[in-house]
Chain A
Amino acid sequence: MTLRAAPDADHQLVIGALRGDPDAFAALVERYDRAVYHLAYRTMRDEEEAKDVTQEAFFKAYRSLKTFKPGAKFSTWIFAIAYHACCDRLNRRKRYSDEELPDRADPARGPADTVIASDEARRLRQAITKLPEKYRTVVTLYHLQGKQYDEIATVLGIPVGTVKTHLFRAKEQLRRMLTADQVEK
C-alpha cells in the first residue's frame, strides 16, 4: 500500500494548480486524500477528527501552494501539514483533559471494518492502534512512504536516526503483541 506516485507527475500537477487549473489540484486531492486520511485516522484514532484534519490539511495546502518548494515531494509536504494539524489537535485534547484519553479506536466499529480483508490485517491494525503515539505515526508513515526514512524524518521533524529507532521499537512491540495474540488464540 506504499505510495509510489511519480514525484514528477505531482510536480506537474502542482504547477498546473498554481496556474489556476482546478483539475490539477483535484487530481492531487484524488491521489492523496485517502493516504492523508489514513495518517490522520491512525494518529487521532477518531473518524470525525481524522476527517477534519484531512480537510484542514488540503485547505492549507491549497492556500499555501505558492510556498511549496520545487525540490520537495508533494506527499511529504501534505503529510507534514496533516501531521502538524494532528499534533495541534492532540495538544488541545491534552490541555482540556486531565485524565488519560480513552482509547477511542475500536476496529470493530471503525471505517476499517468494511475493508479488512484478512484476520492478519485486522490483528495488525489493532496492534498498531495500541502503540504509543510517536511509534504509531512512524509506523503509519513507513506504511505509506516505504523505507524512505528521510521523508518520514522530514514529515515528523525529527532526525533520521530517531525515525529508525522509533521504527525498530515499534516493530518490536508489534511483533510482541502479534505473538501474544497468537498464543492467546
Chain B
Amino acid sequence: MMNERDDDLDRLLFAMPLEEPPADLRASILRGTIYRPAFALKLWELWMCGTFAALAVWLAVLIFRGGGAAFVRTLSVLGATVTHMLLVQNTWLWLAAGIGAAFWLLILNPTPMPAPFFKRYARR
C-alpha cells in the first residue's frame, strides 16, 4: 500500500515538466562565456603597464612637488648609482654567474612538465 502510494508520487514527480526558463537565458550565458571577447592583455603585460603607470605617477609627483629640481637630483643619484654598479667588476661577475646558473638549470632540469588536464584525461 505504502509502495503503491510512493510509486504514484514518484510517477507524478518524474512526469512534472521542468520550469520554462526565460527566453534570453541561454543566449546570456553564452555571451558571458564562450562569446565573451578575450581580454586583450596578458598577465605580464598588465604588470608591465601597472609598473609603468606607477613610475609615471611617481615622476609626475616628483616634478610637481619639487619644481623639477628634486626630479633631476633623484635622476642624477639613480644614474650615478647605476653607473657605479656597472663599473664594479664584481657586479659583472655575479651577473654572469646568475645567468650561467639559470641557463644550466634550464638545460639540465630532469623534472617533466605536468601534462594539461585534458591530455591526462584523454589517455583514459
Contact = CB atoms under 8 A, between A and B. Distances in A.
Interface of A: 1-2, 11, 15, 18-19, 22, 25-26, 29-30, 33-35, 37-38, 41-42, 47, 50-51, 54-55, 58-59, 62, 66, 70, 110-112, 114-117, 120-121, 124-125, 139, 142-144, 146, 171, 174-175
A22 B35 contact: yes
Nearest to A179: B5
Nearest to B122: A15
Interface stretch (B19-27, B54-62, B79-87): B19-27
Top 4 nearest A-B pairs (CB, nearest first) are: A22-B34, A37-B21, A62-B33, A38-B18
Interface stretch (B9-17, B45-53, B65-73): B9-17
B16 A143 contact: yes
Interface of B is mostly: helix
A60 to B, nearest CB: 10
B34 A55 contact: no
Contact of A34 (B16, B21, B120): B21
A144 B14 CA distance: 8
Contacts, number: 103
B17 A1 contact: yes
B25 to A, nearest CB: 6
Contact of B26 (A15, A33, A62, A121): A33
A30 B26 contact: yes
B33 A111 contact: no
Interface in B63-109: none
Contacts of A54: 21, 25, 29
B34 A121 contact: no
A7 B63 CA distance: 64
A139 B18 CA distance: 13
Contacts of A124: 12-13, 16
